[in-house]
Amino acid sequence: MIFTIDRLGHLGDGIAQGENGPVFVAGMLPGEVVEGDLEGDRLVNTRIVTPSAARIKSPCPHARTCGGCLMQHASDAMVADWKTAHVEGALAGQGLHAPFRPILTSPPRSRRRATFAARRTKGGSMIGFHARGSDALVQIPNCQLVHPDLLAAMPGLEELVRLGGSRSQEVALMVTRALGGPDVVVTGGKPLDGALRLELARVVEAHAMARLTWDGETVALRATPIQTIGKARVAPPAGAFLQATEHGEHALLDTVREALGPQKKIVDLFAGIGTFALPLAEMAEVHAVEGDPAMVAALDKAARNTEGLKPIKAEARDLFRRPLEPDEFKYVTGVVIDPPRAGAEAQMRCLAQTKVPVIAMVSCNPVTFARDAKTLIQAGYRLDWIQVVDQFRWSAHVELVGRFVR
C-alpha cells in the first residue's frame, strides 16, 4: 500500500491519512511517499518512493539500529520547525498564542548525562542503548549524542558490569560528567557483599570515577562529583536532576535572566540544586524552594561557600501538597518556576493570585505549560514571548521558557 506522509506526530512518527483513520509510519518525514504493509494503524516493511528534501544522511553510524535517537534522518531546520510547531499546537489547544524566538539547539556530542542499559555476557559485558522497539542492546562506540567523556568511561563501566551484572537481568547505568570524574549510579546490580564492595571500589579508583552509587548505596567516593553553576560549585546527591547539556543549561539561564530583568527579590520554585537560584543570586536575593531535601542541602551548602552572592534562603517543601501561598510572595519582584513534566497546577493557582510583576516559566512539557499559562493569563498576566530550547537533540523532547508580565 502507498501513502503520503502528511505530518509528524509528537513522538516523531510520520502520519498519513488512511481509509480508516491515521496511519503511523516510523522514520518518515512530511511530504514523503512511502509504501509498505499495513498492520492495524501502522505501516511496516516500508520503502520510500519519494523522499523529502529535508531528509539527510544520519550523522551517527548506529542510527539504523540504535533507538537512542529518533530524528537523525531529518535536517536541523526541519526538526526545529517540528518542535516549535509542537509548542504552538499545545498553546493553541488552550486558545493561546505568543511570539516565538528562534530555537536554541545543543550541539552533537554534548549530552553530559545518559542512562545506558547493560548486561553481563559470557565473554564480558555489553553496554549501550536499546534497539528501536526492542529489548536488544546496541553498542554505541561512535555515539554522536553523548559527550566524549561518557564514551571514554566505557571501559570502567564494562568492568563494573562484569563484576556486578547479571546475564539474566539488565543493569541500568546513569552516568554524569562531573569535575571529579564520571558520577555513576547503578540500578539492578548484584546484592552487595564484602568482596564485591572491594572489587567495585578498586574499579572506581582504577578508572578515575568520582563516585559509584550501587542500588541506592554509595560504594565508593574517590572525588566529589562537582557541577559548576555560575560562580558556585555544587556537589549534587547521586541521581539528582541536572540539565542534559551545559549548552542547554546556559541557554535556559540566559533566557530566564532576560525574562526577569533587574530584580531585588526572586522566588525560585522547583529550584533543584540551584540551576537558576545560584546565578540569579549574583543580582538579587533569592528564596529557593525544592521538594527534595538532599538537593536543597546541596544548594544551601554551595550558596554558603560561594563569595559574591546575595542571600539565598533554601527551603525544602513539597510544592504539590503545600504550594507557596499568595501572601508569601509579598515584596517579591520576580519568580522563576521550573516544574517537572506534570506541571504545577496547584502552585500556579496561588501564583495567579499574586501581584508579582514578572514570571519566567520553564517547562519540559508544552501541554502542561499551556495549561498553567492559561491560569496566569486568565488572572491578568500577559505572555510576552516563548523561547524553545532543544537540548535533547534528535529526540521528541522539547523545553521552553515563557515570559509573563502582570
Name the DSSP class of 236: P
- Rounded Cα distance between 283 and 296, Å, is 20
Residue 207 near residue 184 (C-beta atoms within 8 A): no
- Picking from 183, 182, 219, the residue whose alpha carbon sits closest to that of residue 198 is 219
**Residue 384 annotated as lining a ligand binding site:** no
In the chain, the amino acid numbered 330 is: K
Q: Which amino acid is at 170?
A: E
Report H helices in 352-402. Answer: 366-378
Q: Which three cell numbers stand for residue 148?
A: 566524549
Please tell me the distance from the alpha carbon of residue 49 to that of residue 352, in angstroms, as a whole number. 52
69 is catalytic: no
* Separation CA 329–CA 70 (nearest Å): 42
Cα–Cα nearest to 96, from 108, 88, 85: 88
Q: Which three cell numbers stand for residue 46?
A: 516500508
Cell numbers for 84: 516549535
Phi, psi of 149 (to 5 degrees): -65, -30
Distance from C-alpha of 235 to C-alpha of 295, rounded to nearest angstrom: 9
Residue 346, CB-side half-sphere exposure with 13 Å CA sphere: 9
The answer to whether the annotation marks 290 as part of a ligand binding site is: yes
Q: With the CA atoms of 238, 243, 244 and 250 taken in that order, what torsion angle do they form, in degrees rounded to the nearest 10?
A: -140
CB contact at 8 A, 109 and 145 = yes
Count how many Cα atoms sit within 13 Å of the Cα of residue 356 in the half-sphere of its side chain. Answer: 32
Catalytic residue among 66, 69, 350, 364: 364
Return binding residues for S-adenosyl-L-methionine.
243, 270, 290, 338
Q: Annotated binding residues, as ranges? A: 243, 270, 290, 338
Catalytic residues: 364
